[in-house]
Amino acid sequence: MTVTHVDPPGGHGHPAVPSAAATALARCVAVEPANFAADHWGRSPLLSRAAELPNPHGFTDLLSPADADELLSRRGLRTPFLRVAKDGQLVPAARYTGGGGAGAEIGDQVLDEKVLALYADGATLVLQGLHRTWPAIVDLARDLGAALAQPLQVNAYLTPAGSQGFATHYDTHDVFVLQVDGRKRWRIHPPVLSDPLERQPWGGRADEVSATAEGRPALDVVLEPGDALYLPRGWLHSAQAQESSSLHLTVGIRALTRYALVEELAALAAEDARLRAGLPFGLDLADPEAIEPELTETVEALRDWLLRADPAAVAARLRARAWPAARPAPIRPLAQAEALARLDPDSRVAPRGGLRWQLDPTGDGRVALRLVDRTLTLPGTCEPALRALLAGEVTRVGDLPGLDDDADRLVLTRRLLREAVLVPA
């Protein structure tokens, strides 16, 4: 049996929602998870006021204005980790980047004095990819991603008083807006296109978006520090800072859709000889009547093939597509190497947080541990110990089940530490 997990795993092949993940979701929505899933997820916006959320200090623990200043001035940021927008348009990166001086001559580093000039002139600063660069947000993205079973991205928006970085638009992914500092007015309108795909950005419907934005909004609200707002993809929105500057985080949820299944099925359909067949010689491709019989035969062949489609093959393609989109918890390479050198039966280890894995027999007495970018093949006798380790049920190396002696337990644990599957506990 094949079982896929996200830290920590649950039973029957489904990941459990760990306490850290449940806490991360509770920070963003003021309703029970089941109610959020039934009433709002992918359906309608949800406003959660600070007083309704269990965040005594709001979201400043994730990224404060002082933290943003540090990123902009002391961390050697490069594009595209910063974008700048003014009057609804992106500012060319050359206007705020340059060389970093001796030993850092790379030409696209963020220059703080140029950022200051743009920000003071009303531009919005967008710190991108914080789920990869800022520790508190790295942890939030991992935990919230586990709760939603979806990969996430996190950006921060710093907007001067009275300014609006972007015109009314929609996103092609769901978002949580977390207001950190200042106040920002949000005007929300219903979609002009429900559930848009990434290939269906708002620019292709700019006239519809503008016309809808002139109507009465479905939600017109000012977010205060500590407030959170959930918006499904496709909902139109614009936001304007009020009497002071504003800092908010946007958590983008990069969920797969049913169309992703269609794309993978179409890719697999290349295995069918009828669907690979060429069109007749001399066919007039501009003539609907000439195309009709070919279309009919193709649809019939596709229907026959779809009835035989292998769910396991589709799942394998979706795994290859989805797993790399979410990074597991960071490891400390130096500490990991030290743990390898000092490993003994009394050492304690734990599964790497957020690690995606799949374990199944190979049919030749061995077992395959599938990870995001590689597959480890191990003796079948290791399976009980593997499951105990990856489920977090056993932490002491000398207690691993199913292996004859400590030497075997050490060999397995050392391999998993080296492959960054386990970390020192």
User: Is the separation of the CB atoms in 103 and 114 below 8 Å?
Assistant: no
**Predicted confidence band of residue 185 (pLDDT cuts 50, 70, 90):** very high
Among the ranges given (8-22, 209-223, 270-284), the one the predictor scored with the smallest mean pLDDT: 8-22
| β 89-90/184-189 pair status | unpaired
Note the pTM of the prediction, 2 decimals: 0.89
What is the model's pLDDT at position 255? 87
Better-scored residue on pLDDT, 30 or 5:
30
**Predicted confidence band of residue 106 (pLDDT cuts 50, 70, 90):** confident
- Nearest partner of 41 among 179, 217, 174, judged by Cα: 174
pLDDT digits 0-9 by tens, 189-212: 999 999 999 999 999 999 999 999
The beta-strand segments (E) located in 6-69 are 46-48
What is the model's pLDDT at position 273? 95
Report, as an integer, the average pLDDT of 367-393. Answer: 95
Interatomic CA distance for residues 138 and 111, integer angstroms: 25
- Domains for the chain: give ranges and CATH numbers: 18-253 (2.60.120.650), 258-322 (no CATH), 333-424 (3.90.930.40)
Task: Answer whether residue 297 shows pLDDT above 50.
Answer: yes
What is the model's pLDDT at position 101? 86
What is the model's pLDDT at position 87? 86
**Predicted confidence band of residue 18 (pLDDT cuts 50, 70, 90):** low
Interatomic CA distance for residues 236 and 267, integer angstroms: 33
Q: What does the block give as tokens for 195?
A: 């559930």
Report, as an integer, the average pLDDT of 397-417. Answer: 97
Within 13 Å and on the Cβ side, how many CA atoms surround 234? 15
Q: What percent of the chain has pLDDT over 70?
A: 96
Task: Answer whether residue 14 shows pLDDT above 70.
Answer: no
* 3-state SS class at 339: helix
User: Is the separation of the CB atoms in 237 and 188 below 8 Å?
Assistant: yes
End-to-end CA distance of the chain: 29
What is the model's pLDDT at position 8? 39
**Predicted confidence band of residue 10 (pLDDT cuts 50, 70, 90):** very low
What is the model's pLDDT at position 165? 83
Task: Answer whether residue 3 shows pLDDT above 50.
Answer: no
Task: Answer whether residue 11 shows pLDDT above 80.
Answer: no
**Predicted confidence band of residue 15 (pLDDT cuts 50, 70, 90):** very low
Task: Answer whether residue 401 shows pLDDT above 50.
Answer: yes
Report, as an integer, the average pLDDT of 82-103. Answer: 92
Task: Answer whether residue 425 shows pLDDT above 80.
Answer: yes
Average pLDDT, the chain: 93
Task: Answer whether residue 13 shows pLDDT above 70.
Answer: no
Interatomic CA distance for residues 257 and 42, integer angstroms: 11
User: Is the separation of the CB atoms in 390 and 9 below 8 Å?
Assistant: yes
